[in-house]
Chains A and B, each alone.
Chain A
Amino acid sequence: MPFSTYLDSMRDDCKELVAQLSKSFEYVSILGTDVHAEAYRADRKMSSAQDGEGECGFVIKMHNGDSFYEYSCDDIKGDKKALAEKIVNSTKTDPELYERRVKTAPVSDTPMKKDFVRETDFDKYSDEYLLSLCKNVSKKLLEKDEKVLNAMVVIQPYTVSKLFITKNRELSQHYGWANGGKMVIYNDGKMAQARDFDGAGSLAEIIAKLDKNLDKLIDLAKHLTKAQPIKPGVYDVITDSSITGLIAHEAFGHGVEMDQFVKDRAMAKHCVGQYVASPITNMHDGAAATVSVASYFFDDDGVLAHDTQIIKDGILVAGLSDLASATQLGTEPTGNGRRDNYRRKAYSRMTNTFFSKGTDKLEDMIASVKHGYMLFETNNGMEDPKNWQIQCTAEYGIEIVDGKLTENYVSPVVMSGSVPELLKSISMISDEFEVHGSGYCGKGYKEWVRVSDGGPNLKARCKLG
């Protein structure tokens, strides 16, 4: 599937509108989005094949050395002079707020013209094939064990086309990502759900994984029906890569989003250059840091993708910024300006966030634990960048006794406490590495964007409840 023909046809319209608005503003950018998604799903009783989340529209950003102004709309065809007048009028404020505008440096508009493409294989697979696959895998899961009440299987490819135009810049990007997975609801006296979801740059990879590990998934569900609540306490823990990613995300992902620096909402602003984690710890974020769900070529401010090292050998070295926050802080934006969709504001957001791998063997890490838990699978988390508290919920944990994993499962497991205490307690890091590209991240309780996170296994000490 090529770059959006619609957006391609709108290049001149964008340039014309930029020219009109440039009569009123020093900096004008237009981001056009055309995102298509499909969702195939099957379970015991139902199936569906339809459009998934999508969007098609424009957001115009303007700046004159004070506040930023934005206007979101579905189309910009027609009389550009009239549209420009409408936009200028719409973004005016009550006169009493006029004097309260921020004062900032001008926005730089470095010339660049480039078209970025990462090909997908989505066109190779028909609706019929993908839906049949979901139905077949669901059927197989249901037939494996009568205690499987339901088995849901999904495949969700999506393709992104974005066009970014300023007076000096003309960028386009086209790429795709696919998610897929399965979930069973199991009843063995007690009900439990077990999931196995993943993401990949091609449908071939998702398809290859979809009907693998079916027995393992049912076995997990069986164990979860026997899971007990954990006795609250402080334990040695080993994390799987998804929990490692959740810690990275909640602890120092949100904590270094630099729009929070501007608002004095992040303690990290005062800790750059200081030890915030164990000296064996390294952490990155960036659309260019790895290939996963958040690997775009330029962000929603037209800034090229970066690979930002956030923590280097335990020391906090850098944060993540969008255009507005970098302009106010007097720094270079890091390519982390992201929008939920064209209707929403761009904020500083994470992309692909992960701890770097270490040198330890996972089996040695488990063997080093006298009594503790290995934690698996992200459920949810919540950030607190100002006060450096953290809450991460794992789907389940397995008790470790005398250096060995037992058959004792606990669920759910809520890990909480102080971010620096947790990160400074990291004593071993495995030589394995996996990034999970099937997540979403909100800012507070809104502004959802697709993110990945992950890394190696970590050994740390923290409070579980």
Chain B
Amino acid sequence: MATFRRFDPSDLDRISKCNLDPLTETYGLDFYLQYYAKWPSMFQVAEDDRGNIIGYIMGKLESSPEYFRNYEHYLPWHAHITALTVAPEARRMGIGRILSEKLEIAADNGDAWFMDLFVRKSNHRAIRFYESMGYSVFRVVKDYYGENVEDPSAGGEDAYDMRKPMKRDVKHEHIRENGREFEVDPEDVF
């Protein structure tokens, strides 16, 4: 069973169910604490009956720096999903969706125009998951990831920058239908 709440640093001592999974990266303490300090409502966890963290989502609210305002890739005030992970034993229960929904609530509270995230082009399962949640590809970031999991000889792997409009974007001005046709370089991405 799972209960959902804000992250607390002591949770880092109980994230093994998520972080021993090879698909979940483990970062330095500064990485997690930065989100805890800056955007505490956007760092949510799912906890099981034994106190294990069986899923978590880390997000942030930001925009491109002001001096980028006239730049074509300027990003207005938006929310970003930095990490979303669910322990293997807790998958297929809807925990990832609930965590994402909670982040969307926080994004709306923070008056974000949209929520975005990056996902490997080869991660079809994740792409399907986000599409079912209302996300769509906004643009393709060429060679965003250093390693290509499907072709190790390739220089890198493309990322999809996926977006979902938040309540503020009533006219859906920040998403596009044909996002897969728009390619940008990693340096264009804030």
Do the two chains bind? no
Give the interface of A toward B (CB within 8 A). none
Give the interface of B toward A (CB within 8 A). none
